[in-house]
Amino acid sequence: MIEQPYIYRRVELAEPDWQRFPGWADVSPAEWQSAQWQRAHCVKNSRQLRNVMGDALEDRFYADLERDQRERATMSMLVPPQMVNTMAPGATPGSAGFTDAFYADPVRRYMIPVFTDRREDWPSHPYAQRDSLHEAEMWAVEGLTHRYPTKVLAEVLPTCPQYCGHCTRMDLVGNPTAVTDKHKFTLARPDRLGAMLDYLRNSPSVRDVVVSGGDVANLPWPRLEEFVSALLDIDNIRDVRLATKALMGLPQHWLQDDVRSGMERLAAKSRERGASIAIHTHVNAAQSITPLVARASEHWRLTLSEAQFLQHQIMGYLPGFATPRIVCDVPYVGKRWVDQVARYDAELGISYWTKNYRTAVEAADPLALGREYPYYDPIYMLPEQGQQWWRARGRPDGQQVPGEAVSARV
């Protein structure tokens, strides 16, 4: 038999048994499948996690979590039971080794980060900023980012049913934490959404709208339907994508009768108009795909060279259309395949990217198409020489690394 670096195995979909956790031992299937029950029982702090886990987790974990919340966390804690239940699915709560299995779990690592997960030397990159993709600078009207010629991102609300530690919209999304304040929209929601629609009615070059936030699952369905329906009334809008991680984190939401019938109405309207409507999501770990998720249906950064290596390694296992394409989300440029980089200094971890179009917000910038836009790798993953360079210089232009930016985010 030929030895392969990756062995494909089909895994049966199974919902882990939530009753294994002491706090949910009496929760019935009907309660578990209720979106309302899930939302009401989200875990928001260490005390609530203890109520679910009982003595299954050792005290060191709670102390680690509490320290992170005091000193590092950029996202407030909000984990639906559905997601907690997919953590350490193969370990028995209370058994020897459960705490270590929970520590090692990939879903736990990004949804319930603890202090010892973070690096002490470079908890964040010197150039890290709260709005890491500079989306707010590219707002055509409040909440509407226009950074591609034909596509826009509509941030319709600043909340989600779950908060991920790696959120690239940590500047806007969620509640303030001990170390991070959050941007507040200035316009009331109806005015903000109205301004977005007016902008799109007057922007015939835009055809694709990502309706996001936050997560559209937190917008009351009638408001979301009204907005999307108004988008579909605009002749130039041909693609509408609804962004929701809740498809995985809270599939119960998307299985509700009123939401399903609302989606059916929107699908019928888009079909009638010859436009496309889609839900897009992200799922960070295969174990998050459970039968409920299937029924309803997408420290954390890499270096560019590692992403290029991963892309190389996954080629050839799946049909082309099903092969993931790894992209780098470059500030001011947008998503680029990882091999599209113009120049790359892998030792310093700085890659340079170009763009092939202007958007409305940079229409008057004569250098927009000639400029190279930098992207920075995590410093702790660089070769030792590169790390030394950053320690000595701080910034490539020789300026000192600003202290507040260092702690901005992981």
Q: How far is the CB of 110 from ligand SF4 (least distance, A)?
A: 9
Strand pairing category for 151-155 and 373-376:
unpaired
Structure tokens given for 300: 């954390």
The answer to whether residue 167 forms part of the interface with ligand SF4 (CB under 6 A) is yes
Q: Total binding residues for ligand SF4 by CB under 6 A?
A: 10
The answer to whether residue 173 forms part of the interface with ligand SF4 (CB under 6 A) is yes
Residue 82 · residue 29 · CB < 8 Å:
no
By C-beta, is 133 or 338 nearer to ligand SF4? 133
Burial 244-281 (b: 16+ CB within 10 A, else e): bbbbbbbbbbbbeeebeebbeebeebbeeeebebebeb
The stretch among 165-173, 188-196, 310-318, 395-403 that binds ligand SF4 (CB under 6 A) is 165-173
Q: How far apart, in whole angstroms, are the C-alpha atoms of residue 126 and residue 396?
A: 11
Nearest to 359 by CA among 328, 330, 334, 327: 334
Q: How far is the CB of 178 from ligand SF4 (least distance, A)?
A: 18
Q: How far is the CB of 123 from ligand SF4 (least distance, A)?
A: 19
By C-beta, is 152 or 348 nearer to ligand SF4? 152
CA 343 to chain CA centroid, Å, is: 27
The answer to whether residue 160 forms part of the interface with ligand SF4 (CB under 6 A) is yes
CB-CB neighbours of 173 under 10 Å: 23
Residues 224-263 that bind ligand SF4 (CB under 6 A): 245
x-marked contacts with ligand SF4 along 188-227 as a string, rule CB under 6 A = --------------------------xx------------
Structure tokens given for 244: 């929701």
Q: Give residue for tokens 């917008």.
A: 219
The answer to whether residue 165 forms part of the interface with ligand SF4 (CB under 6 A) is no
Q: How far is the CB of 117 from ligand SF4 (least distance, A)?
A: 17
By C-beta, is 111 or 232 nearer to ligand SF4? 111
Q: How far apart, in whole angstroms, are the C-alpha atoms of residue 312 and residue 339?
A: 10
The answer to whether residue 169 forms part of the interface with ligand SF4 (CB under 6 A) is yes
The stretch among 156-164, 285-293, 349-357, 389-397 that binds ligand SF4 (CB under 6 A) is 156-164
160 phi, psi to nearest 5 deg: -140, 165
The answer to whether residue 164 forms part of the interface with ligand SF4 (CB under 6 A) is yes
Residues that bind ligand SF4 (CB under 6 A): 160, 162-164, 167, 169, 173, 214-215, 245
